Amino acid sequence: MSYVIEMLNIRKEFPGIVANDNITLQVKQGEIHALLGENGAGKSTLMNVLFGLYQPEKGEIKVRGESVKITDPNVANRLGIGMVHQHFMLVDTFTVTENIILGSEPRKKGTVDIKKAEKEVERLSQLYGLRVDPKAKIRDISVGMQQRVEILKTLYRGAEILIFDEPTAVLTPQEIKELIEIMRVLIREGKSIILITHKLKEIMQVCDRCTVIRKGEGIGTVNVPDTNPNELASLMVGREVTFSTEKQPAQPKEVTLAIQDLNVKDARHVDMVKGLNLKVNAGEIVGLAGVDGNGQSELIEAITGLRKVDSGEVMLNGKSITNLTPRKVTEAGISHIPQDRHRFGLVLDFPIGENMVLQTYHHEPFSKKGVLRYKEIYNKAKALIEEYDVRTPSVYTKARALSGGNQQKAIIGREVDRSPDLIIAAQPTRGLDVGAIEFIHKKLIEERDKGRAVLLLSFELDEIMNLSDRIAVMFGGSIVAEVKPEDTTEQELGLLMAGSKQQKAGGQ
Ligand SMILES: Nc1ncnc2c1ncn2[C@@H]1O[C@H](COP(=O)(O)OP(=O)(O)OP(=O)(O)O)[C@@H](O)[C@H]1O
Ligand SMILES: [Mg+2]
């Protein structure tokens, strides 16, 4: 049996926590090997050890049968190991090509040979079907393209073994299809892949084998054709997981959010929201379905004060909140679970405890006469961390050191706990494991039953269908249809989202 990678009995500790305890992972040449485990189980840590970002306290790593010491990412690169991180590591103001060659620039007479670099990038992108615009700046391109840049970056450095840390969490369904195709091409060209994902469907679809870890310990490796999503879920969580959420019919009450004839432009002054009308009542969950880029982000930014409204009105409980500052919108009674947790959700270098009161620290009991009361803050944070099962060594740990999914759970806990009138949940379960998704879905339904209005934005049609009481379909900047989940199918929703089927909007 030829293994390209063997990680044997790896142990990695952080202050207060053993992130990897005696984990073994063996990857065969030419396979796609899934790494599965709950949020905080230790997946990213294990991969960071393989990529030379962390040194293990114990254990051995073999590459193609030879024992190696991977002291830093340059050594990993030389061994043919490349990594696409959970949170991208690109320089925003650099071009695609500049990012790809960063640190390995081809030189001619002492200066960077950008022509040569562009040619090589072009060649690789053709070979693997990785569409990019070599001259575009990172900040101007889609998340999907940024990810392709990260993949090209590893290939440019000669990677033979690619580590993908939750690549599909940030992608739209269309982009996921493309990535899966790209992974297949990579395998055909002789590469091996380690794939971290929480989406069991993806494991079933593309992976050959799957190694499961739980709370830092290895549980075992299974052949994917011999298993099923239920078994995988119970292996990783250690109990049965239900995939659909039970809920009673909604009891909608008064109108909480009313949007009238709203128009919003994006950063390039293109009309993204066009004459949009939408109502969300207290006590109901309205799912916003749509293909990415049809104005959903701009709509949510406009409601929450992050983007200017061009014309039209946003009303909360009968009062206009149009063009208020984000803080005023928050104080008016809106909670926001943002799509981009790093840009809007957390202050990464603050302790997680302080992050739990980001919206409320200037109020009693967390401050008095302008002085912060840390005891109150940390007591609240401890309670929330407990309730939402945020796995962290302590409340004093910096937000940056939490695993991706635990950062997300912390934001959800903070936003839901404020008892707002309206919760805007944008991709709330992005990056969460199946158990955590189940929990968050239950929470959102509970909030609905307490009489909150919930506006849910999700690219996952399962989630929209399972959770929504009413689905509003957004296409081309407006709501083109409103349907009840029980009266529709994913196929029909797909057609509505593609704009190929129109229905009169407006019915409640
Ligand atoms: N740099 C760090 N300093 C301190 N603790 C850390 C650091 N990196 C990770 N940890 C801790 O190690 C544990 C494992 O984290 P890791 O990021 O590996 O989880 P994960 O399996 O990738 O989870 P997720 O699915 O949420 O991304 C967590 O408890 C996390 O808080
Ligand atoms: Mg991770």
> What mean pLDDT comes out for the span 213-236?
96
pLDDT band per the 50, 70, 90 thresholds, residue 503 = low
Between CA 202 and CA 198 the distance in angstroms is 8
Which helix or strand (DSSP H or E) is residue 213 part of? strand 209-214
DSSP code for 120: H
By most ligand atoms within 8 Å of CB, the mutation choice from 39, 45, 348, 396 for ligand 1 is 45
pLDDT for 508 = 40
C-alpha 156 – ligand 2 centre gap (Å)? 24
Question: At residue 479, does pLDDT exceed 50?
Answer: yes
pLDDT at 245: 76
Average pLDDT over residues 24-43: 97
Instruction: Report which ligand 1 atom has the smallest distance to the Cα of 166.
Output: 27
Q: What digits encode the pLDDT tens for the residues 307-320?
A: 999 999 999 999 99
pLDDT of residue 1: 62
Structure tokens given for 58: 């114990």
Omega before 365 cis (within 30°)?
A: yes
Q: Which two three-digit tokens encode residue 174?
A: 């269309």
| Overall average pLDDT of the 252-277 stretch | 95
Q: Give the Å distance between the CA of 335 and the centre of ligand 1.
A: 27
How do strand 217-223 and strand 66-68 relate by DSSP bridges?
unpaired
Token pair of 142, please? 């889609």
Q: Which ligand is nearest to the CA of 404?
A: 1
Closest atom of ligand 1 relative to the 408 alpha carbon: 26
Domain ranges of the chain: 3-237, 255-497
What is the model's pLDDT at position 358? Answer: 86
Residue of minimum CA distance from atom 24 in ligand 1: 39
Mean of the per-residue pLDDT values of the chain: 93
Amino acid residing at 291: V
Burial of 207 (0-12, 13-18, 19+ CB in 10 A): buried
> Contact, 28 vs 193, CB < 8 A?
no
And the tokens for 462?
A: 């399962």
Structural element, H or E, at residue 153: helix 143-156
Is 53's C-beta closer than 6 angstroms to any atom of ligand 1? Answer: no
More confident residue, 144 or 424: 424
Mean pLDDT score, 284-289: 97
pLDDT, mean of residues 340-353: 86
Task: Give the pLDDT mean for 171-186.
Answer: 92
Fold match, 3-237 / 255-497: yes
Average pLDDT over residues 177-189: 95
Token pair for 110: 């002492």
How far does residue 503's CA lie from ligand 2's centre (Å)?
A: 41
Looking at per-residue pLDDT, the higher value among 292 and 46 belongs to 46
Confirm or reject: Cβ of 401 under 6 Å from ligand 1: yes
Across 239-244, average pLDDT: 79
For residue 48, the ligand 1 atom closest to its alpha carbon is: 18
- pLDDT at residue number 42: 97
What average pLDDT does the segment 263-287 reach? 95
Whether 343 shows a pLDDT value over 60: the answer reads yes
Verify whether ligand 1 is closer than 6 Å to residue 14 (CB atom).
Answer: yes
- pLDDT of 481-491, one tens digit each? 999 999 999 99
Secondary structure (3-state) at 209: strand
CA–centroid distance, 264 to ligand 1, in Å, is 39
User: Distance from the CA of 42 to the center of ligand 1, in angstroms?
Assistant: 6
User: 5: pLDDT confidence band, cut at 50, 70 and 90?
Assistant: very high
What's the pLDDT tens digit per position in 61-106?
A: 999 999 999 999 999 999 999 999 888 889 999 999 999 999 888 8
Q: What is the DSSP letter of 401?
A: G
C-alpha–C-alpha distance, residues 145 and 130, integer Å:
8
* Mutate which of 403, 411, 412 for ligand 1 pocket (most atoms within 8 A of beta carbon): 403
Looking at the DSSP bridge assignments, the partners of residue 161 are 81, 192
The pLDDT value recorded for residue 364 is 87
197 lines ligand 1 (CB under 6 A): no
Instruction: Please name the residues in contact with 192: beta carbons below 8 A apart, sequence gap of 6 or more.
Output: 4, 5, 27, 28, 29, 30, 31, 32, 33, 160, 161, 162
Confidence check: pLDDT of 260 > 50 = yes
Alpha carbon of 220 to those of 25, 35, 211, 235: distances in Å?
Answer: 9, 10, 6, 9
Instruction: Note whether 251 and 453 are within 8 A (CB).
Output: no
| Residues contacting 267, CB < 8 A, separation 6+ | none
CATH class of the domain at 3-237: alpha beta
Cβ neighbours, 10 Å, residue 473: 30
User: Which residues touch 62 (CB under 8 Å, ≥6 apart)?
Assistant: 3, 5, 6, 8, 68
CB 339 within 8 Å of CB 427: yes
Confidence class for position 507, pLDDT limits 50, 70, 90: very low
**Superfamily of structural domain 255-497:** P-loop containing nucleotide triphosphate hydrolases (3.40.50.300)
Q: Centre a 10 Å sphere on the Cβ of residue 192 and count the other Cβ atoms it contains.
A: 24
Atom of ligand 1 nearest to the CA of 433: 25
pTM equals 0.90
